Amino acid sequence: MKFKTSETLSTINAYEAGKPLKEVEREYKITHIIKLASNENPLGFSPNVHDAVKAQMRDMNRYPESSGYLLKQKLSRKFKVPPENIVLGNGSDDIIALLAHGFLNPGDEALMPLPSFLMYEISVKTAKGCPIMVPLVDFSTNLKGLIDRLSPKTRMIFITNPFNPTGSIISFHEFNDFLAKVPEDVIIIVDEAYIEFVRDETVYDSLQKPLADPRIVTLRTFSKVYGLAGFRVGYGIMDFEIADVLNRIRQPFNVNTLAQAAAVAALEDEEFFKKTINTIHEGLDYLFSELGALGLKCLPTQSNFLMVDLKADATKVFEEMLKLGVIVRSMKSYGFDTFLRITAGTKEENTILINSLQKVIQK
Ligand SMILES: *Cc1c(COP(=O)(O)O)cnc(C)c1O
């Protein structure tokens, strides 16, 4: 290419998203496709969201409210934190990028598990920082390994709890032991995209005592339990000085008007929230028992997805499943060559998934 790129660019691979439903429809010329690949909400979203978004449509000639006033008020009341400690993002992906750009200088290090949610690595690299990746141990975050890799250049550590893609969690005690060993000037980003699905009460939940430690930045999203992935809304709860930096560098209208209205409406519907949690838990229990009956082992999970070991090339099974109209995720690109990641769906979707998988593996 005749244009000179940013030097870190050659090492960045594009984010590989779950295969979009419409794309599979076009490619395979089949309808009634089931997508259990991107940890989305199988029930859709609260009907309140529909009404709120429709009502908001008449104001769409105006710029969004840059402050996200109403949404921050709601979150402020829910978590008992001042609005000044909340940063809204165009998905939590946006906030991950803002943290990297706001706090990394060339060569600064950001620690993260390997494999990790790919946006950590992409954001750190585009901010000219240096990702330091620490392999999982037993499919779980290697907290001791992260501590061992601390250096004077470490500026931030990414923690995902529950972990994507394995579904493991970090307990309150494990996290506190870890925290005690992290220097005062290192930001600890705790990505809790799936925390609402956790059933294990020993889990570390950073918002049980929000703002208890200035190093901790909590990330949450409306993309999973609230079913608003297409709207793109996430938020971070953090020390005021960190929030101030992010607010100075973010795009002023990073969360659009419809997304703000959708998120406010979603927070108001506790019934839908509970229904989602119940559906996911029942779905996971069903999948565990049915996959077990097929002779397959699953990793224990505290999220809305599970990883299953096929003891065979997962990508081949993934492709065969696609032909049957079921989209799941091969974990090959994460280094787990024989594993699929399956998002819990509705009862009907889960049943079709099991039937399809049975056909594929018994072929
Ligand atoms: C899905 C997910 C998110 C949420 O991303 P959004 O940009 O808010 O849609 C964040 N972190 C992890 C680990 C995820 O899996």
Identify whether the C-beta of residue 71 lies closer than 8 Å to the C-beta of residue 88.
yes
The whole-angstrom separation of Cα 340 and Cα 283 is 16
- Residue 8 resides in a domain: no
Residue 1 lies in a domain: no
Q: Confidence class of residue 17 from pLDDT cuts 50, 70 and 90? A: confident
Please state the rounded mean pLDDT for residues 201-227. Answer: 98
Contact by Cβ (8 Å): 158, 120: yes
- The answer to whether residues 80 and 55 belong to one domain is yes
pLDDT band at 4 (very low <50, low <70, confident <90, very high): confident
* Of 118, 206, 222, 223, best ligand 1 pocket probe by most atoms within 8 Å of the beta carbon: 223
Distance from C-alpha of 319 to C-alpha of 252, rounded to nearest angstrom:
42
Q: What is the pLDDT of residues 304-323, one digit of tens each?
A: 999 999 999 999 999 999 99
Task: Evaluate whether residue 9 is within a structural domain.
Answer: no
Give the pLDDT confidence of 187-203 residue by residue, as tens digits. Answer: 999 999 999 999 999 99
CA of 236 to the centre of ligand 1 (A): 12
Q: Is residue 236 in a domain?
A: yes
Q: Give the ligand 1 atom nearest the CA of 222.
A: 8
User: Best substitution site from 38, 96, 164 to test ligand 1's pocket, by max atoms within 8 Å of Cβ?
Assistant: 164
Q: How many CB atoms lie within 10 A of CB 358?
A: 14
With a cut of 90, say whether residue 12 has pLDDT above it.
Answer: no
Residue 281 sits in the same domain as residue 264: no
130 and 241 in a single domain? The answer is yes
Q: Do 144 and 252 fall into the same domain?
A: yes
Looking at the DSSP bridge assignments, the partners of residue 288 are none
CATH code, 94: 3.40.640.10
The verdict on 231 and 275 lying in the same domain is: no
Quick one: 346 and 214 in the same domain? no
User: Is the pLDDT reported for residue 302 higher than 90?
Assistant: yes
> Residues 125-142: pLDDT tens digits?
999 999 999 999 999 999
CA 173 to ligand 1 centroid distance, Å? 25
Distance 96 CA to ligand 1 centre (A): 10
Q: What is the mean pLDDT of the chain?
A: 96
pLDDT score for 13: 78
**Domain ends where: 268, 294, 325?**
268
Among the three residues 212, 238, 268, which one is the final residue of a domain in this structure?
268
Other beta carbons within 10 Å of 10: 8
Give residues with Cβ within 8 angstroms of 120, minimum separation 6.
Answer: 96, 110, 112, 131, 158
Closest approach atom of ligand 1 to CA 221: 8
Domain shared by 260 and 298, yes or no: no
pLDDT at 24: 81
Same domain? For 260 and 275 the reply is: no
Give dist(CA 98, CA 94) in Å, integer: 6
User: Does the pLDDT value for residue 2 go beyond 90?
Assistant: no
pLDDT at 20 over 90: no
Same domain, 242 and 135: yes
Strands (E) located in 106-186: 109-114, 130-135, 154-160
How remote is the CA of residue 358 from the centroid of ligand 1, in Å?
30
Q: Which amino acid is at 321?
A: M
Does residue 215 sit in the same domain as residue 92? yes
Helices 270-293/347-361 angle, 10° precision: 20
The answer as to whether 225 is a domain residue is yes
Task: Kindly state whether residues 234 and 95 are assigned to the same domain.
Answer: yes
Taking CA atoms only, the protein residue closest to ligand 1 atom 6 is 91
Query: Residues near ligand 1 with C-beta < 6 Å?
Result: 39, 91-93, 117, 160, 164, 191, 193, 221, 223-224, 229, 234
Nearest CA owner, ligand 1 atom 15? 164
Which domain range does residue 347 map to?
16-45+271-361
Measured between alpha carbons, how far is 265 from 285 in angstroms, rounded to an integer? 30
For residue 5, tell me if it sits in a domain: no
